[in-house]
Amino acid sequence: MTGTGTGGTGAGVRAADEDRVFAALANATRREVLRLLRDEGPQPVQALADHFAMRRPSLSEHLKVLREAGLVTEQRSGRRRIYRLEAAPLAEVQDWLHPYERFWRERLKGLGELLDRMPDDDRP
Amino acid sequence: MTGTGTGGTGAGVRAADEDRVFAALANATRREVLRLLRDEGPQPVQALADHFAMRRPSLSEHLKVLREAGLVTEQRSGRRRIYRLEAAPLAEVQDWLHPYERFWRERLKGLGELLDRMPDDDRP
DNA sequence: AGAATAGGTAGGAGATTCCCTACGCGTCAA
DNA sequence: TTGACGCGTAGGGAATCTCCTACCTATTCT
């Protein structure tokens, strides 16, 4: 929904989305939540909370950050809310990563030095 | 140097490294610095600072965060310090990303629903 | 209906982030 | 040697993060 062409602002929205995703991933608890949803499938909040040494309301706030980054969705089931992994924003992270790939591959082949460009104004 | 097998603690070190990398990427200025070093090659601090509406000491602190995450290295050249992209830690991000890949691919093929597992205790 | 369960929100404390203005240190030019 | 340049660090302030303890609503069970 907040996809590639929402219209109007265009790139500004994308940048904000990107920022939310990277910010969401900047916390170890939230990354662990994503791993749990990936490895154990969709779960209600309490089941997730069992894995952490943190009160449930704190986890609720982490889930909110993940929701606003589009990394999880909730589906209400009675009085519970089943959280599910939404991996699509992670594809954008991979896209962001891609232009760097050749740099670490060069390093691994030991060719890095040869291909580095000097700043071309002066050297000591 | 702070690579895969520093010895002793093992996974603890890795987790701390991972955290530093994700934290470093959580800021748009720092991601832009990485992009500049990637697209324009190694540069001194002032050349980088020209791209930002921020005082140079602030950028220096961003560079420190990137250095401590292993994402850049500095090479002294006279009174200047040439910063260079070190993409290796980004390979670890890609490794982290990899187990999620099948999830967004499933979604794209519209098969997501079929493969989702229920929490297997009860449904409404 | 009343009690228990599931989970979100409010408000606050302490830590961290991100920017700033000084200022210090090393290097190059005059 | 003196001054200008390049860059890092110190210290501080505002904003944000991350955790907490209440507290509220919605649903289910008895």
DSSP symbols for B34-76: HHHHHHH-SEEHHHHHTTSSS-HHHHHHHHHHHHHTTSEEEEE
pLDDT at B114: 53
Dist CA B76 CA B73 (whole Å):
10
Min CA distance, B116 vs chain A (Å)? 7
pTM, two decimal places: 0.84
Buried b (16+ CB within 10 A) or exposed e, A69-93: bbbbebeeeeebbbbebbbbbbbbb
Residue B69 pLDDT greater than 70, yes or no: yes
Q: Which of residues 76-95 of A touch strand D (CB under 7 A)?
A: 78-79
The encoded tokens of residue B120 equal 């297997």
Average pLDDT over residues B31-58: 98
Min CA distance, A7 vs chain B (Å)? 22
- Choose among B4, B46, B57, B53: nearest CA to B28: B53
Q: Residue B66's pLDDT band (boundaries 50, 70, 90)?
A: very high
pLDDT at B112: 47
pLDDT at B11: 66
Average pLDDT over residues A107-118: 52
Contacts of B15 in chain A (CB under 8 A): 28
Mean pLDDT, chain A, whole residue set: 85
Nucleotides of D under 7 A from a protein CB: 5-11, 17-23, 26-28
Q: Residue B10's pLDDT band (boundaries 50, 70, 90)?
A: low
